[in-house]
Every structure is written in C-alpha cells, then in structure tokens.
Structure 1
C-alpha cells in the first residue's frame, strides 16, 4: 500500500497553563496548514480520554515530499520553535501503511 506518509506524535504538557497555550499555538498552526498545504491530507489534534495534559497528533501526507513541504512552512517552523516551552516530553512514531482505506481526493 503506497497511500501516504503518516506519523503519530504524542506531546506531554507541563501543566494546565501550558496545555492552554499549546492548544492556542496549535490553532494558529492549523490555520496555516489548512491554507497552504494541499499535500497534507489529515492533521488532527486529539486529547486522549482521561489524559488532559496529553495531545496526540495524527498526520497523513500524500507522500514524503508533502511531509517535507509541511516541515518547511513558516507556520510549522513557528510551531516547532515555540512548542518546547510547553512540553514535558514528546514521542514521534513514523508510520508505513500496509493496508487500509483512504478517502478519495476531491
């Protein structure tokens, strides 16, 4: 299966104040993603049930080049530069698709 390039990122936040500020940073970043990244197919921020100081990102890109384009965007660079002040930890898992269903592009 060659549909996309994905990753899951788990952010542990320092405290409730850091979580609020991190969420605001995410909202700003998402606006840039929506406006400037046609190769970003899915970019969703989740709060796991019962873990209010954790955020999990699920990201799916058309291909590795689309991910690289995402990483080069000014809004992404801003997010990467600002996020550290809110974090207690971060885990990144890159995903290789082997089976599944992918929605058709419009």
Structure 2
C-alpha cells in the first residue's frame, strides 16, 4: 500500500521582556493537536531573539510529539497491538530505529 499525506504545522511566536512563547498547531486533516513552549532569556545573557524563538518553538513541537505518541499508543492498543509499555505483536511493531 502506498499513500501520501501532508500534515501542516503552524507556529506562532510572541516575545515580551525576555520571554518567548510558542504555540504550535499540527493539523493532520482529521485532527488538530496544539503544543506550547516557553523560553526565558537569562538576564545576564545577551538577548538574541532568534535563540528564544528556536527554544520556544522546539519545546512546543516536542509537546506535540508527546501528544502524538500518546495518540499512537492508544490507537495501537485499540487495534489489538497491546499497550505501548508492553511487547508489541506484529504487524504493529513500528520501530523508531532508522
């Protein structure tokens, strides 16, 4: 089976007084997940807004990744593949190894 999907991610960044906040929204076409991330500039460090953007955005996307993994674990269990914490029977033995 071959299939192609496109999922869209939108990231909104706001910065105020050395704090950058990010909201990332993943739209799969059938579901939407929202993640949040924050980065604070140490007052003793040079304020480089791009670094705050990168940190906050990566934390928001990591939040989405965790949510997506929990959804996948529930879907695996519902498909009869067992819980995400136990051994997974084929054909659902999706590996995160490349």
- Fold shared by both chains (TM-score > 0.5): no
User: Normalized against structure 1, the TM-score is what?
Assistant: 0.29
Q: Which has the higher contact order (CA 8 A, sep 6+)?
A: 1
Q: Normalising to structure 2: TM-score of the pair?
A: 0.31
Q: Which is greater in Rg? A: 2
